[in-house]
Amino acid sequence: MQSYLEPCITLAEQAGQAIMAIYQQDDIGAREKSDHTPVTAADLAANEVLTAGLQALAPNVPIMSEETPIPPLESRQHWQRYWLLDPMDGTGEFILESGDFAVNIALVENNQPVLGVIHWPAKGVTYFATHQGGAFKRTDGRDEPISVAPKGTLTLAVSRRQKIEAVSQYLNSQFDTVALGSCSLKACIVAEGKADCFLRVGPTGEWDTGASQVIVEEAGGCITDAEFNPLTYNQRESTENPDFIVMGHPDWQFQKLINPHQREQ
């Protein structure tokens, strides 16, 4: 597993370069997929870089990517090890030119993510972790360990365009916010202690949390579904995630702060 880490970081950076080349173009090839989510030429270019590179790196390890057809469960349920990819998390942010999009690579073993790489092309920053190997942030070739950290006031990572009420209804606490696009980048700022919590209410795929989960857990936090149950990988026909919560330092006692059953009246 450790031997895969640096090659995966390199591939994520190469995919980021492919994304940024298209980011500068007038025509980014945006269209709507059959599930009504957006895709661009950058998503597909990053997917090509990642799949070709991972096939060369580990020819016998299957690949599950958001941008390729997902095999039926009966064909993949016995995979002991596979790559789980979101070639560009934050396609909507890419289209809106916010810069908040990322390349996600996870290695999953026995239905649990064990390696995660998240590259932020617009910032030139990479977050990475391996199971029991710690979590790190690489900037300008320098690695620094990252960890969750409690703050004086609960700080919630939120979308730039999300209505605060969509998540505040679940919190039994006052909070500050930090706005950022991309699910995986919001998870990363929790992992490095710049936010304490991220509540995702709405559709996502397993590729949105695979790499994040390793990084957050190795940084001392956790990711669960909205009922505080573990997320699952490659165990259902659907690869859609439930609503989930990224939690930072356990001193916050999140099960007391978050009420998943609360609804607006």
Return the structure tokens found at 68: 């390729």
Edge-to-edge strand list for the sheet holding 155-158: 176-179, 155-158, 197-200, 244-247, 222-225
26 labelled as ligand-binding?
A: no
* Whether 226 contacts 242, CB under 8 Å: yes
251 carries a ligand binding annotation: no
Helices (H), 24-111: 41-57, 73-76, 91-96
Give strand pairing partners of 140: none
Q: What tokens does 194 get?
A: 């710049």
Determine whether the annotation assigns residue 196 to a binding site.
Answer: no
Q: Is 86 annotated as a binding residue?
A: yes
Q: What is the Cα Rg of the chain in Å?
A: 17
Helix (H/G/I), strand (E/B), else coil: 44: helix
- Binding-site residue positions for substrate: 66, 208
- Binding-site residue positions: 66, 86, 89, 208
- Binding-site residue positions for Mg(2+): 66, 86, 89, 208
